[in-house]
Amino acid sequence: MSALLKVYLLFWILKNIVGFNFTAVRSSVGVLENLPPPHKLIMITLNTNYTLSWTWNQLDTESLDVSFTTQYVGKYELKYKRKIPNWSIACEGTAHRSCDLTKLDLHHLGTYMLRVRANVNGHHSDWAELEFFPDRDADLGPPSKVHLIPAENNLDVVISDPLTSTNSTMKDLLGDLYYHILYWERSADSQPIRTQTFNSSANVVTLPNLKAWTWYCVRVQSRTEYYLKRSRFTPPQCLQTEGNTPWWQVVLCFIGSLITCFLVIMLLVYSTVWCYKTLKGVLYPSNQLPSHFLRYQCDSPGSDIPRLLTPDSQSELLCDNVTICPEPVVLEIRSPPAVPSSPPGLEPDSRHSRQDSGSSGDSGVYSSGGSSNLQPSSHVSKGVPKLWKGPFDFEQTLFELWLIGPECHRHHNYLL
C-alpha cells in the first residue's frame, strides 16, 4: 500500500513539473513568434551629426537577450519596384536603443529610408521605418564662437560659422545661412533696457549707434529662410564700448608714468650704492691695524699668513689691565720779583698786604727749568710732581691735577 502511494506521488510530481515546463515553453514560443517592433523612431540631429533613437516594450521579455539591427537605403531605390533595394547596415546586434549615423556621411541633400527591428534568439520582429531628409529635418546649430571687440564708440562682433562633423563650415551646405544678432544696453541690475536686432551674413559685424563708455550685451542666432530653421541663441557676452580719452587723463597717465620710472631708477641707484659701500666696508675696512701689531700677528715678518692660536698650545696667556697715560710734565714755580722797600712813612702791615695782592695777580707757573726762592714742601706725593708750599699751593695743585688727569691720578702706581 505504501509502495503504491509513493509511486502515485512520484507520477503526480512529474506531471506537475512537465506541465509547468510545457506551459513556460509554450508561453516563450508565443512571445518570440510575436516580437513587438521598435516604435517612436526619432532623429536627434545637429548640423551633420545624426542619431536614430527608438523605444521598445520589453515587459514580456525581461529575461531575454534582445539586440537591434538598423539599416538604411536611398529613397530613390524604393521607387523601382522591379529592382530589389540594397539596404546597408548602419548598426547590427546592438543592445542600445539608438544608432549613430554620423559616420555614414549621408549626403545633406539626399533622402533616406531608415528601418529598425528587434532580435531575440534568432527570432526577428517587424521592421519599423522612418524617412529622413537631412536638409529639411536636421537641426541647425548656433555659431561655434562669438567674440566682441571694441571699436571706439561701436562694437565689432566676430562670428564663427557653425561646423559640420568634419569641422567644415555649414555655409558650404546652407547657402542662405545668416545671423540674427540681438544686443542691448546693460543696466545696473543687469536687465536689458531696450533690445535691438541686426541681421547679417558676414562674419564680422559692427553694431552702430552705440554710446561711448557703455556696457552692451550680445547674443547671436543662426538662421536659414528656405526651411525656416532657427538655432538656439549663444550665451550672452557683454563688453564696454570705448570713446575719446579726455586730455587730462592722458596728462595724468604721463605724469604718473614719469614718477613711477623715477622712483624705480632711484631705488635701483640707492640699492647699488648701498651694496657697494657695504661690500667695500667689509672687504676693505678704513681702519687698519698699526704695522707693529701686524708684525706680531704673522709667523714671520715677511709672511702674510696670520698666526693662529691652536687649542693644544702649551703657552699660557697672562693678561692684566694697563692704563697708558702721557708723561707728566715737571712744573717749576718761580717766586715773583722782590718787592722794593716801602717808602718812608708806610707801615709794615701795609707793605705785607701789597705783596700779597701782587702775588695773587701772577701765578708764577712756568714749564722751563729754574730755581725758586720759595721753600719746597716737606710732603711730596708718590709719582706726582712736587708741590710747593706758599700762597700759591691751592691753585698750583688744581692745575697739576688737570694736566695729569683723573685716570693717572687713580693709577699713579704705573708711572715710572
CA of residue 62 relative to chain centroid, distance: 58
Domain edge (last residue) among 104, 137, 170: 137
Judge if 91 and 108 occupy the same domain.
yes
Judge if 133 and 95 occupy the same domain.
yes
**Is 279 among the domain residues?**
no
- Alpha carbon distances (Å) from 223 to 48, 153, 179, 236, 324: 16, 28, 6, 18, 108
Average pLDDT for residues 216-229, to the nearest whole number?
96
CA of residue 245 relative to chain centroid, distance: 32
Judge if 232 and 328 occupy the same domain.
no
**Is 329 among the domain residues?**
yes
Parent domain of 368: 324-337+359-416
Q: What is the 3-state secondary structure (H, E, C) of 398-410?
A: HHHHHHHCHHHHH
pLDDT at 152: 81
Judge if 176 and 82 occupy the same domain.
no
- Residue type (1 letter), 243: G
CA distance 44 to 138: 8
pLDDT beyond 70 at 17: no
Cβ-in-10-Å burial (0-12, 13-18, 19+) of 194 comes to: exposed
Task: Choose between 400 and 246: higher pLDDT.
Answer: 246
Rounded (5°) CA angle 252-257-259:
95
- Residue type (1 letter), 164: T
Average pLDDT for residues 347-372, to the nearest whole number?
42
Q: Which three cell numbers stand for residue 170?
A: 555649414
Task: Sheet with 145-151: list strands edge to edge.
Answer: 145-151, 154-160, 204-207
Judge if 98 and 173 occupy the same domain.
no
Judge if 260 and 214 occupy the same domain.
no
pLDDT beyond 60 at 125: yes
**Is 68 among the domain residues?**
yes
Collapsing DSSP to helix, strand or coil, 336 comes out as: coil
* Least trusted range by pLDDT, from 236-250, 280-294, 355-369: 355-369
**Is 292 among the domain residues?**
no
Judge if 117 and 155 occupy the same domain.
no
Q: Which three cell numbers stand for residue 369?
A: 727749568
Judge if 151 and 235 occupy the same domain.
yes
242-284 pLDDT, tens digit per residue, is 887 778 888 999 999 999 999 999 999 999 999 999 998 888 8
Residues contacting residue 111 through CB under 8 Å, at least 6 positions apart: 74, 75, 76, 131, 132, 133
pLDDT at 287: 73
Domain edge (last residue) among 137, 156, 179: 137
**Is 128 among the domain residues?**
yes
pLDDT beyond 70 at 9: no
**Is 309 among the domain residues?**
no
Cell 614719469 maps to which residue?
258
Collapsing DSSP to helix, strand or coil, 93 comes out as: strand
Residue 83 confidence class, pLDDT cut points 50, 70, 90: confident
CA distance 121 to 28: 11
What CATH number does residue 124 fall under? 2.60.40.10
Mean pLDDT of the chain: 76
CA distance 210 to 242: 10
CA distance 254 to 248: 10
Average pLDDT for residues 281-292, to the nearest whole number?
74
pLDDT at 243: 82
**Is 110 among the domain residues?**
yes
CA of residue 192 relative to chain centroid, distance: 36
Judging by DSSP bridges, how do beta strands 192-200 and 145-151 pair with one another? Answer: unpaired
pTM for this entry:
0.56
- Residue type (1 letter), 192: P
Specify the number of domains making up the chain. 4
Residues 289-317 as b/e (b if ≥16 CB within 10 A, e otherwise) read eeeeeeeeeeeeeeeeeeeeeeeeeeeee
Judge if 102 and 117 occupy the same domain.
yes
**Is 84 among the domain residues?**
yes
Judge if 176 and 108 occupy the same domain.
no
CA distance 71 to 50: 14
Collapsing DSSP to helix, strand or coil, 222 comes out as: strand
- Alpha carbon distances (Å) from 167 to 47, 161, 247: 11, 10, 48
pLDDT beyond 60 at 415: no
CA distance 102 to 109: 15
**Of 19-28, 73-82, 145-154, highest mean pLDDT:** 145-154
Judge if 161 and 230 occupy the same domain.
yes
Domain edge (last residue) among 225, 240, 255: 240
CA distance 55 to 41: 7
Judge if 169 and 201 occupy the same domain.
yes
